[in-house]
Amino acid sequence: MAGVRLSGVTKRYGAGITVLDNIDLEVHDREFMVLVGPSGCGKSTVLRVLSGLEPVDAGEIRIGDRVVNDLAPRDRDIAMVFQSYALYPHLTVFENIAFGLRVRKTPKQELARLVGEAAEVLSLSDKLEKLPRHLSGGERQRVALGRAIVRKPQVFLFDEPLSNLDAKLRVQMRAEISALHKRLQITTIYVTHDQVEAMTMGERITVLNGGHIQQTDEPLTLYNTPANRFVAEFIGSPPMNLMSLTKKDGVFQYAGHPLPFTGNTGAAEPSLDTVLAGIRPEHVDVAEGGGGLPAQVVLVEPMGGETIVYLALEDGTRLVAKIDGMRRFTLGETLMVTFDHQQIHWFDPRTERRISL
Amino acid sequence: MAMGKKMTSAIVHLTLILATIVTIYPVLQVISISLRPGDSLYSTSLALIPEGATLNAYKTILFEKPFLLWMRNSLLVSITVTILGVALASTAGYAFCRYRFPGRGIGLMSFLISQMFPATMLLLPLFLLLKKVGLLDALPGLVIAYVATALPFCVWTMKGYYDSIPVDLEEAAMVDGLTQIGAFRKVTLPLSAPALMITALFSFITAWSEFMVARVIIQSLDLYTLPLGLESLAGTFQTEWANYSAGAVLVCIPVVALFLALNRYLVSGLTLGGVKG
Ligand SMILES: Nc1ncnc2c1ncn2[C@@H]1O[C@H](COP(=O)(O)OP(=O)(O)O)[C@@H](O)[C@H]1O
Ligand SMILES: [Mg+2]
């Protein structure tokens, strides 16, 4: 059992491209840490430097109490599930799972027992003699998991393991991987670009963008107090609405409209002339009359339990509202929009950092 | 529509049948001559098995001529060339595929360019080089010459095949506990069986059927390889055509056997592009 700590880790490809820029990340022993960010932000690179497949240009990597910077992948006691699964095509399921054990010269009987156990946990017992190419996508995924868990390493690294599965299987495997983690209690770093996966699976989540860590927190903390504009927009679906407000007569206003939220706004950083207000779709309400900002209905997505309404304000700014239940809306109709003013997030438009009132 | 398809199919098959006949006819002819009783090259008979067919020529070739010695020399040379060719091409191809090093591009390109010149152009430089290192008129010299000629094609074949194997597999093996060399041996190499077979076959045939280089390098009669030996049967004044043909048939047998044995790999090897992971 071991925690993982990256301190000041920097990784460059060639001279120009800095893929990881001074990353500090601590993953506790037994923790399930999700690393989330858009494609190309450096998530896989974090796993690759952690596993030793790529050297770092600066910084220190610790697994447990060992500095592993100079250790080869095989000496780091980690297991990795690749996005492509990377199953050995010429070996049966049994041999794929047994591969790491054989390399470590595990005695025959123990090897058979361990592989059998792993196969049992992953419902692969009747597939052991098959070759990977005769398996379905979900089964291949399980074999890749089996190969990782059978060795009981100190750390699991998952690189977007579910991205090749269809939606239904993805939801199922999500739960299975979470259950597996509860059972095995092995420190896990799980990479995904899907914020739903991150929110549902992570004990803590690290948001990465452009090779920088944006925020590390528990899922709900991340959702309720995003540290900056990027996190605010990245976490949550549909994404958070952002409106630029300008101060006039000591009060922040939107496009000259008297704002539906008052009072609290005046207390924002007094030096700022403009602020970004972030409002989650579920905190936007619409009504057929009364006060608020007038907005036109552009698109309606009835989801059953809730309805997503896309609105256009008078200056063309788009807003998304998530309305409980199945209220009916007509395209083109004008509604009055109000916000739950307790739930507004404020960001400095220059630094894009969160500011508090 | 259906008519058009049938026509196309008929034309394709007709072409294939013609090509097959053109290919097979000389072979049948050689077999036929090897079975003739006399030394007559020209015969008006079109029968595949000639009148009074006999295996005498085979007996003569095997027991009255140093055929078995030539065979031994050829096998020695060809097998060594095959082993060296596979060993060098599989490792060099791997380096060219997975590593970026100074001279990589030039190396690959010069391999390719060397293939553009006819082998005869290499004769003089090869002769001079082997003379310098004292390997003229010696089987090792011949081996070196053959390996050198077979290697460019083999390296390209291996490199091309490795390119189609995802790096992920080796990385997974390294995380699973192997060194890079271990991953190469346990994962990449077994997956490259088809390319290895092509490399082996190509190296073997290059050495087995080569005449010109051998003619230039080898002088001693007891170092003759099969092609040299066969040629020596064609006398200045009179050629024993039946013996000559029997020898030719015998020379072909190992190659044909090898082809048949490796057929499975060859077919999958030639359609490599489509098979992934
Ligand atoms: N071997 C490499 N050489 C150069 N650039 C690379 C290499 N590998 C990755 N990159 C670049 O590094 C960035 C991060 O890659 P990666 O970690 O794979 O992103 P992610 O997994 O978050 O999608 C990308 O912009 C990618 O183009
Ligand atoms: Mg990636």
For residue A244, list its beta bridge partners: A276
Which DSSP helix (H) or strand (E) runs through A96?
A: helix A93-103
- pLDDT (tens digit per residue) in B139-186: 999 999 999 989 999 999 999 999 999 999 999 999 999 999 999 999
Residue-level pLDDT at A262: 41
> What's residue B38's pLDDT?
67
pLDDT in tens, B139-151: 999 999 999 989 9
pLDDT at B129: 92
Both structure tokens of A117: 């156990």
Query: Hey, is A203 helix, strand or coil?
Result: coil
Tell me the one-letter amino acid at B105: G
Enter the tokens of residue A239: 């994404």
Collect all residues of chain A within an 8 Å Cβ-Cβ radius of residue B182: 103
Q: What is the pLDDT of residue A84?
A: 92
Ligand 1 pocket test, pick from A17, A19, A163, A193 with the greatest ligand atom count within 8 Å of Cβ, gives: A19
Rounded distance, CA A329 to CA B191, Å? Answer: 60
Residue B212's nearest CA partner among B151, B152, B145 is: B145
Q: Which pLDDT value is given to residue B254? A: 87
Ligand 1 binding residues, C-beta < 6 A: A 13, 17, 19, 37, 39-45
- Mind telling me how many Å the CA of A267 is from chain B's nearest CA? 54
Query: Tokens standing for B92?
Result: 């060099």
CB proximity A284 to B under 8 Å: no
Distance between CA atoms of B65 and B60, rounded to whole angstroms? 7
Using the Cβ of A277 and the Cβ atoms of chain B, whether some distance falls under 8 Å is answered with: no
How far apart are alpha carbons B96 and A256 in whole angstroms?
Answer: 65
Q: What is the pLDDT of residue B55?
A: 86
In the prediction, which pLDDT does B115 show? 84
Strand partners, A155: A78, A187
Which ligand 1 atom minimizes the distance to the CA of A42?
17
Pair of tokens at residue A52 = 């030793």
* pLDDT of A269 above 60: no
Q: How many CA atoms lie within 13 A of B184 on its CB side?
A: 13
A179 three-class SS? helix
Res B269: pLDDT: 53
Burial (CB < 10 A; 0-12, 13-18, 19+), residue A308, is middle
What would the mean pLDDT of A207-214 be, rounded to a whole number? 96
First and final CA of chain A: distance in angstroms?
42
B contacts of A74 (beta carbons < 8 Å):
174-179
pLDDT of residue A47: 97
Q: Give, for A354, the enclosing helix (H) or strand (E).
A: strand A354-355
Q: What tens digit of pLDDT does each residue of A159-175 get?
A: 999 998 999 999 999 99
Q: What is the ipTM, given to two decimal places? A: 0.87
By mean pLDDT, which of A64-73, A136-145, A246-255 is the weakest?
A246-255
Ligand 1 atom at minimum distance from A46 CA = 17
Judged by its nearest atom, the ligand closest to the C-alpha of residue A48 is 1
Helix (H, G, I), strand (E, B) or coil at A76: coil
pLDDT digits (tens, 9 = 90+) for B79-111: 999 999 999 999 999 999 999 999 999 999 999
Beta bridge partners of A243: A277
| Strand intervals (E) in A147-288 | 155-159, 187-192, 204-209, 212-217, 241-248, 251-253, 274-279, 284-287
| pLDDT score of B268 more than 80 | no
Question: What percentage of residues in chain B have a pLDDT greater than 70?
Answer: 90
Strand order in the sheet with A354-355: A251-253, A241-248, A274-279, A345-347, A354-355
Structural domain spans, chain A: 4-234, 241-347
pLDDT per position as a tens digit, A117-139: 999 999 999 999 999 999 999 99
Whether the CB-CB separation of A161 and A149 falls below 8 Å is answered with: no
Q: How far apart are CA A114 and CA A97, in angstroms?
A: 9
At B45, the pLDDT band (50, 70, 90 cuts) reads low
The first and second tokens of residue B221, run together, are 């009669």
Mean pLDDT for A237-247 is: 88
Cβ–Cβ < 8 Å for A144, A38: no
3-state secondary structure of A237: coil
Q: Which residues of A touch B166 (CB under 8 A)?
A: 84, 86
Q: Whose CA is nearest to atom 21 of ligand 1?
A: A44
- Kindly state the DSSP code that residue A254 receives in the 8-state scheme: B
Cβ partners under 8 Å of residue A325, min gap 6: A305, A306, A307
Indicate the range of A269-278, A347-356, B178-187 predicted with least confidence: A269-278
B180 CA: distance to closest CA in chain A (Å): 10
- Nearest-neighbour CA in chain B from A85: distance (Å): 8
Write out the two tokens for B235: 């006398």
Average pLDDT for A74-95: 94
Torsion of CA B85, B86, B90, B91, to 10 degrees: -60
pLDDT digits (tens, 9 = 90+) for A187-197: 999 999 999 99
Evaluate if residue A295 carries a pLDDT over 80. yes
Between A270-274, B8-12, B128-132, B147-151, the lowest mean confidence (pLDDT) is in A270-274
Q: Is the pLDDT of residue B272 over 50?
A: no
Q: How many Cα atoms occupy the beta-carbon half-sphere of A24 within 13 Å?
A: 2
Q: Which residue of A has its CA nearest to B178?
A: A74
Give A40-65 pLDDT, tens digit per residue: 999 999 999 999 999 999 999 999 99
CB < 8 Å to B171, chain A: 53, 73, 80, 82, 86
Which position has the token pair 């670009």? A193
- Band of the pLDDT at A256, cuts 50, 70, 90? low
pLDDT for residue B2: 67
Q: From CA B53, how far away is CA B50, in angstroms rounded? A: 5
CA–CA dist B160, B112 (Å, integer): 13
Distance CA A175, CA A19 (A): 31
Report whether the peptide linkage leading into residue B66 is cis, meaning its omega lies within 30 degrees of zero. Answer: no
Contacts of B173 in chain A (CB under 8 A): 88, 99
Percent of chain B past pLDDT 90, that is, above it, reads 58
Q: Is A157 helix (H, G, I), strand (E, B) or coil?
A: strand
The predicted pLDDT at position B41 comes to 62
Q: Which CATH superfamily groups domain A241-347?
A: Nucleic acid-binding proteins (2.40.50.140)
B207-233 residue pLDDT tens: 999 999 999 999 999 999 999 998 888
Q: Is there a contact between B172 and A53 if contact means CB atoms under 8 Å apart? A: no
Distance CA A94, CA A128 (A): 5
Share of chain A above pLDDT 70, in %: 94
The CA distance from B2 to B41, in Å, is 49
- Residue at A318: amino acid letter: R
Fold annotation for A4-234:
Rossmann fold (3.40.50)
User: Does residue A265 register a pLDDT over 60?
Assistant: no
Three-state SS annotation for chain B: CHHHHHHHHHHHHHHHHHHHHHHHHHHHHHHHHHCCCCCCCCCCCCCCCCCCCCCHHHHHHHHHCCHHHHHHHHHHHHHHHHHHHHHHHHHHHHHHHHCCCCCHHHHHHHHHHHCCCCHHHHHHHHHHHHHHCCCCCCHHHHHHHHHHHHHHHHHHHHHHHHHCCCHHHHHHHHHCCCCHHHHHHHHHHHHCHHHHHHHHHHHHHHHHCCCHHHHHHCCCHHHCCHHHHHHHHECCCCECHHHHHHHHHHHHHHHHHHHHHHHHHHHHHHCHHHCCC
| pLDDT interval class at B3 (50, 70, 90) | confident
- Nearest neighbour of A90 by CB, restricted to B172, B182, B191: B191
C-alpha angle B111-B114-B117 in degrees, rounded to nearest 5: 160
What's the pLDDT score for residue A140? 94
Residue listed under structure tokens 């447990």: A64
Mean residue pLDDT of chain B comes to 87
CB contact under 8 A, B171 and A84: no
In this predicted model, which residue has the larger pLDDT, A73 or B40?
A73
